[in-house]
A = this chain, B = another copy of it.
Amino acid sequence: MNGTTLPSVAAPVNLADLRAAARRRLDPAHDDFFAGGAGDERTVRDNEAAFDAYRVLPRVLRGVGARDLRVELFGETVSMPVLASPTAFHRLAHPDGEAGCARAIAAAGTIMVVSMAATTPVETIAAAVATMPPRPAPASGPPRPPKLWFQLYPQPDLAFTESVIRRAEAAGCGALVVTVDSPVFGRRERDLRHGFLDLPDGLCCENMRDPVTGEIRAITMDAALDWRRIDWLRETTRLPLVLKGVLHPADAALAVEHGVDAVLVSNHGGRQLDGVPASVDALPAVVDAVAGRLPVLLDGGVRRGTDVLTALALGAVAVGVGRPVLWGLAAGGEMGVRQVLELLRADLDRAMALAGADSPAAITPDLVTPAVGGRAWPVGVRR
């Protein structure tokens, strides 16, 4: 490693390599914090496994020499339909922290959703992004890095909540991702066994700083949260609202009625209620309920280009990745995150070429077929 290039993880072939590298570098309690989930971690495992129960049914001879992976989200162009979902405590994973992560994501031409539990102030993250040169997109990438989005746990103290929103707005964030799957805290048994209950000295949730006292407030999980708070948010900010954590189609329909701008199908990486469906299994019913009135996003278990392709074929406009970004960060800091995103981009590009889709819009529902028991059911055979 010399001073002019970023350190890199030697030749990771796939995301699993970076996951293994991250495990080698992290304190086991921290690795378990990032890897673990609620209860028996059925949903953690299911998120990944569920993608294996779909098969891609490729088209051939479609002339896919000129592929364009870009998608539009709230009027902005993103270089591929893969965002970085919010994840907590980046400085626990690597000194590069949220700022390094943000630079890597900006370099990839896509969106970082800044966590309310970030260990770096949103303003610092935004400043890091601002220093990035326009991303040299191979084909016709966007002229500048897309904006950050900001993730919000609505706090019972409305004034404080509003102050956080104003910080995000002032930092130039392009959307508010409102987490609604956390009326109480998910019980993560790995953390209980490690006694990992708080951040180590020197790290804190910088976006929870009280504007009056200057002290860091604890993030409150608010069990009283209901749709009236969404209406209040709708009135409080002009930022697009993305409702994160919707799994039930009835809630997706309510989201449309309450005027949010997008729904993000998510089970919080299996960290809130163990035993809920894998995100990709919940997706079709949500897409059906929304009926095109809103864009639907998904996160949970995306590890391969075919996972992205599957989610888009089932109706998502884009997906988020959470743990893979942390693996890259832990394994190699900013450069590790770049590797994660470029591996995913290349994998998606290849999958699209091989499936005969030259753009996200060309990823039609007929390109994917469900499987049973981990094995494809004969295509087109009704059971």
Is there a chain B Cβ closer than 8 Å to A354's Cβ?
yes
Q: Which of A58, A192, A222, A377 is most buried by chain B, counting CB atoms within 10 A of its CB?
A: A58
Is there a chain B Cβ closer than 8 Å to A181's Cβ?
yes
Is there a chain B Cβ closer than 8 Å to A323's Cβ?
no
B13 and A192 form a contact (CB under 8 A): yes
Separation of A372 and B61 alpha carbons in the complex (Å): 33
Is there a chain B Cβ closer than 8 Å to A59's Cβ?
yes
How many copies the complex holds: the figure is 4
Separation of A251 and B229 alpha carbons in the complex (Å): 49
Is there a chain B Cβ closer than 8 Å to A180's Cβ?
yes
For A63, the chain B residues whose CB sits under 8 A away are 223-226
Interface residues on A, range: 35 or more
Near B by CB (< 8 A), chain A positions 226-285 give: 226-227, 229-230, 245-251, 254, 272-278, 280-285
Separation of A121 and B306 alpha carbons in the complex (Å): 37
Is there a chain B Cβ closer than 8 Å to A292's Cβ?
no
A61 and B248 form a contact (CB under 8 A): no
User: With A58-B247, A227-B61 known to touch, is A376 a contact of B288 (CB < 8 Å)?
Assistant: no
Q: Produce 1/0 per residue, A131-166, CB < 8 A to B.
A: 000000000000000000000000000000000000
* A53 (CB) vs chain B CBs: closest residue: B375
CB distance from A183 to the nearest CB of B (A): 5
CB distance from A249 to the nearest CB of B (A): 6
Residue from B50, B55, B245, B381 in contact with A276 in the complex, judged by beta carbons closer than 8 Å: B55
A187 and B60 form a contact (CB under 8 A): no
Residue from B226, B272, B284, B373 in contact with A379 in the complex, judged by beta carbons closer than 8 Å: B284
The 9 closest A-B pairs by CB, nearest first: A285-B380, A65-B224, A63-B226, A277-B376, A273-B354, A285-B379, A275-B306, A65-B223, A281-B376
